[in-house]
Each structure stands twice: as structure tokens, then as C-alpha cells.
Structure 1
């Protein structure tokens, strides 16, 4: 192992692995991960690379198959002379790849929101944890729309855990769950229509949805067809981003709510530059979203850590990453040294007719990641203003 590390550090490039699905049920969101990653690598290489060496990506498309994530992670670590991987989006893909990454002492940079309750010395988590998106959303939907909430989700770990936390939050604040329904990851039309009938029957004040991928696109389309007043009874989620709105149709998504640290309408110079660069590089085919921005930001975090640590060695690079402070398009980012998750700024947006989000609320301070929900009382108010 030590010999392999030494040979790697003597090579002419910094070789890294990329594992995002550009096909399959999450093709829209994971393609955004890929575009953000590619843009950041190109920017860094155009600026001379890191310590005079270019970043060399080796990319594979697992097509949304957890077993493919597992086998391709193994291939990167054992055949492609890679030690650092950027990838995975769904929790199922992360959990499939993680034992391989740990067994071969690699380092996974994971850019997606997730359910928390995980720690690994072989992972850096750069997406939001539940206390950085769900807590504010619970207060927002109750204050603005009402206490009766229907919960819909795809049938895997992230929706079940997110809905469990959301249920606890709402019930602690006097809310009522009027229905809870799960569908397969790639649900067919008939299954989604059954879910839609349950939603209509419940007549909830809002729907909290953790349905993802193609199934989510069907759900939003059916919600529009049902004629429900989205200004008064929206779908609120942690995942609906600008790229999926473009697929569904902006006019069919107005009024829906997203809670995320990044929205393309964030006002700062770095975000304006990021949007211009992404649009120019991919000729409008890529969009600035929570998916592309987080993947973009973690490559820049990595480059700064690599400059500090001067090595791809898992431990030394990971320690260097904990010392990095980076001004990203979403705002200042840095990793928490105790849990290896990123500090971030929660925001809530309401979809408009242009396919973007009007920012309805944002935190005035960065929020420390609490992946175990160990230091927060559920009944405390989270939204200070709206």
C-alpha cells in the first residue's frame, strides 16, 4: 500500500475518480453533479493545476445501479491507481461504495444531501445534513401554509429517515401528519396515480415530498394536472432543483418550495461568476443547481486541501481538508473537524414562473452540521424571520 501511494505521488498528474450516473433514474441530478465537477477541474487545470500538476479525472457512469457503484469504486481503487473518488448521490450508492472505499483506504468526497447518522474517516460529506435543511422547512411550511402535512417518499433509506425526522419536528410543533405513502424508486404511471389520489383525498395544507428522480417528475406533473392551488398547498421538498423544473416545465412548478443551502438566485459575486462559467462551458445544457454547485465546490475544497497537504494520502489529505476555508457560490464553506461534514447556510426558495427560486428565507449565520441530531431540541423555533 505504501509503495502504491509513493508511486502515485511521483506521477505527472493528480489522478482522481468520478462516479456519477449520467443515465438511469437520477440522470438529471447526477448529470448536474458531473457538470459541476468537470467545470471545477477545468478551471483548476487552466490556472496551472495544483502545485504545478494537472488534475486527471477517470470517470465512470454507474447508471444508478448500487452494484455498479460498488464494482466501479473497486476498479478505480485497485486497477486505475486512484485513491480519491468524487461521487455517489443517493444514499444507496454511497452505502454500496463505502465498504470498498474503507477496505482500500480511499477517500470519498460525497456531495449530496443525506439522512445523516454516519461517520467515516474515509469520507468527507459536503452536502447538507437534516438540521441544515429540514428543520427550517418544518417551521416554514407550518407558518406559511398550515399544520396538516402529507408525506410522500421513494422507498429507500433517505426518504424514510427524512420523513421520520420531519414527522418528529412537525408533531413537536403541533402539526399533524395526515398521510404517509412510499413508492418504488422508479415507479410506473399507475403507482404514481395511486399516490396522487392519496394526496388529493388527504387535502393537506402541504405535501412534504422525498420522491426522487423520474418518479418525482411524474408527481409534480400530476399535481399540476390535478389543479391544486400551489400558492396555498404546495409540495415542499429538499431535492427539487432548477434542472428538474426545466424538465417538468416551469409553469407547472410555480409555488412549490425547496429547502437547500444553495439556490441559483443567491446574490454574491462568486455565484454570478459560477453561473456565467457553467452556462458558457456547457452551452446552456447545464444549470446552476444545488447538485452542480456542491459538486463544483467540493473540487475546489479538494484543490485547496491538496495544496496544503501536498499528497493524495487519505489521512493527510483528509486532515488538510479540515483546515480549508473556501468562499463558494453558496457562501463560505468549511468542514467540521469533529464530524467531517460541511458548515453551510440554510435557505428556502419558492419556485417562480422563470424556473428559478425566489428566496423566501435564509439564515443569517452558518449552521454547524449535526448529522446525529444530538445537540438540537426539536420543539425549538428554527425560523427567525420569513
Structure 2
């Protein structure tokens, strides 16, 4: 009897062990990737589409066999436009969910919130949005633009004859690190071009600001002093009331052009763009660029939005940070294939020099030392249908300068990624 009980117990233990082994094998069959974007709050207007684009890209990679023979499994969290919550959610993704990589953040304050976590835990973050530079972490790959890939060329264009020969500049931004640092760089750049401080106005509003009546009136007053352009680093849903107020007060692009660094096709979906025709945006990609890669990219996105019944799927659009998300995920997947591992140190090494034929129509390269993409620069005019007509672009991709030469002391900074602390 005892012998029979022992045999049964041994058989049961062996079965449980076998089941445990099966579960372990099954768990190892996927590679978890984190998606860290605000799906609620003031930044949801911009970030939700990046989450959806990440999911589409993951589906695309999985349909082709995954990465190193394993399917990618997305772990989505919502930091809710709450900057400290980004750090908490980032830590959760790395320590609890055990993701191999995280794709996320929009605002620089959210990125700076998570940065110490990723450096402490040796996590890997792909950041897909234009930013102010002044950072180069070994734990972050920056697939958006540095100032020399967006802000500086945009202002140079505004100062040119084709761009309207602006002499005065109204710098309007949301009150946080990206607009303030970008405008610090732009003010120094404008000084180098002979523009005096009296011809530069700098105004900031909080996140979620909705009353732009006084500010637009002040723009009109400021423009009476000479040919003026507005440089907007307003972020999130505040762009809607700002552009609506421009229309309400009849301020047209022919009077005072606005060039925006955080407004694209997605943000314009909720606005009547007819009064805004001719205003500008500077990016590294627009949905309207014509090439076979982009044609497929746009068609795939529209089909995905319809199939998943995403809000506004009948008017689904692509934009620059969505393309940067798409490129970043594919580059990471290529690096994992090259490294034959998801180990962060091995993948980091494999990412150096990775290339990808992007929807922008250019082959983009991940810099071998500074963790930034070489990207083209494009300036587009708003059209009545909410799309952009590209009026100027670089001949090819340009290398990012994370340490702007217009900030004193940056010439002594290393041209390779080092921990922020």
C-alpha cells in the first residue's frame, strides 16, 4: 500500500514537473515588449496613435515569423499624462513584466522621469518624438529629431525669402523642459543671425491650457513691429484651442505664419484646417510624401485602424512620431536578430549602424555613437484637408547634434552615450 502510494505520488510529481516545464517553454516562446504611452489625460491626443502604431508594427513582425523564431508580446500600460507615473510604470514593465524593451514617452518631462529607472535597471527605451537634445543615454535610442534636425532648419526657412523673410519671432510653448530648452537654443541661434532680443518674444502656457485669446491678440500686436513668425512648441490638446483662436481672430499665414514642432496630421484631425492653410510644421516625415514604401505604410495603417475599429478609423492618418515608432521597433527587431539575443548590452551593440528603408523615402541609419537616427528634414504647409504639402526638405538624412553648438560648453561634451548621472 505504501509502495503504491509512493508510485502515485512520484507519478503526480513528475506530471506537475512536466507541466511546469511545458509552461516555462511556452512562456519563453514570446518576447515581451513594453508600450509606455499616455492613453488618457492631456497627451492622449498625441500618444494614443503611437500605442496603436506599435501594436500594428508588432503584428506585422509576428506575421513574418517574429524575432529569432519567437512572437512578440505587447505589454501596454497607461501613465495617464502623469509624469511621476511614467517612472512607476516603467519600473513595472522592467521588473514585473520583464519586458526586453520599451517603446514610449512623448514629452521630455516624461522621458526624464523614466530615464533614471532605465539607467538603474539597464533597461532599453526607444523614444520616438522630436526633443530638445542635451541628452545622450546608453539606455535610450532616440528615433525623433534633435534641434538641428527640426527647429534650426525651420527657423532658417522662416528667415529665407521662400519662407517669408521673418525678422521678428514669437516663441510660444508649453511650460516644460522641451520648449524652454529648444527656445534657449533658438534664441542663441537668432542672436548669431543678428536678431536682437527686442525682436524675440517668449511666452509659455501650462499643459492643458485652453484660453489663447489674449496670447493671439499679443501676437497680432507684436507683429505690428515688423515681419513676424510664430514658433510653436505647444504640446498636447492645447493645440486645438490655439489654432481655433488663430482662426477666430483672423490671423492668417499670409500675415503671421506659424511653424509648429508638435503639430501633425493627428492633431489636425479635430480642427477645421481651412482657416489655417499655409501655416507650417517641421518634421522628418509627412503622410503626403510620395513613394512606394509610404504608400504601403499608409494603406496598412488605414486597414489596421479599420480592422481594429479604432476611434476615427474612417479618417485615420499617419504622422512623424508614428513613423519614428515604426522605424524604431523594426530597428530593434533587426538588432535582436543580429545579436541572436534580447540581452540589452548585446542589442545595444547590434543597434549601432542599423539601417531601415523608412516611409519618409529615405534609408535611415542609427548613429554608431550618439544613439540618434540620421534623418531628413521636411517643412510642410497645412492644406484644407488637414494634410501637408512639403515646401522644403534636405537632400538627404542629416546627423543629429544632441549637444547643440548654440549652448555654451557643449563643445566639450562627449559625442557618445554616457549615463545621465
TM-score normalized by the length of structure 1: 0.91
Kindly state the Cα deviation for residue 171 of structure 1 after the two structures are TM-superposed.
2.7
SS at structure 2 position matched to 1:73? helix
What residue is the counterpart of 1:216 in the other structure?
Answer: 239
What residue is the counterpart of 2:9 in the other structure?
Answer: none
The CA RMSD measured in Å over matched residues stands at 1.9
What residue is the counterpart of 2:202 in the other structure?
Answer: 180
Kindly state the Cα deviation for residue 221 of structure 1 after the two structures are TM-superposed.
0.7
Question: Which of 61, 72, 92 is equivalent to 1:75?
Answer: 92
What residue is the counterpart of 2:354 in the other structure?
Answer: 324
| C-alpha distance after superposition, 1:234-256 (max 9, x if no partner) | 11111110111111222132111
Whether 1:299 and 2:322 are equivalent positions in the alignment is no
Quote the Cα distance in structure 2 between the aligned partners of 1:136 and 1:273: 29
- Describe how 1:92-171 pairs up with structure 2 within 5 A: 92-143=109-160, 144-145=163-164, 146-171=166-191
Quote the Cα distance in structure 1 between the aligned partners of 2:45 and 2:326: 16
Quote the Cα distance in structure 1 between the aligned partners of 2:107 and 2:316: 20
**Contact in 1 for aligned 2:352/2:369 (Cα 8 Å):** no
What residue is the counterpart of 2:414 in the other structure?
Answer: none
Whether 1:344 and 2:375 are equivalent positions in the alignment is yes
Structure 1 segments unaligned to the other structure (5+ residues): 1-6, 378-386
Larger radius of gyration: 2
Quote the Cα distance in structure 2 between the aligned partners of 1:205 and 1:375: 22
What residue is the counterpart of 1:239 in the other structure?
Answer: 262
What residue is the counterpart of 2:286 in the other structure?
Answer: 263
TM-score normalized by the length of structure 2: 0.84
SS at structure 2 position matched to 1:86? strand
Aligned length: 369
SS at structure 2 position matched to 1:149? strand
What residue is the counterpart of 2:249 in the other structure?
Answer: 226
Question: Which of 189, 193, 215 is equivalent to 1:195?
Answer: 215
Question: Which of 50, 54, 61 is equivalent to 1:33?
Answer: 50
Kindly state the Cα deviation for residue 358 of structure 1 after the two structures are TM-superposed.
0.6
Change in CA separation of 1:8 and 1:132 when aligned onto 2, cut-off 3 Å: farther
- Describe how 1:272-311 pairs up with structure 2 within 5 A: 272-283=295-306, 284=313, 286-311=316-341
Quote the Cα distance in structure 2 between the aligned partners of 1:178 and 1:241: 25
SS at structure 2 position matched to 1:258? strand
**Contact in 2 for aligned 1:83/1:313 (Cα 8 Å):** yes
Quote the Cα distance in structure 2 between the aligned partners of 1:315 and 1:8: 24
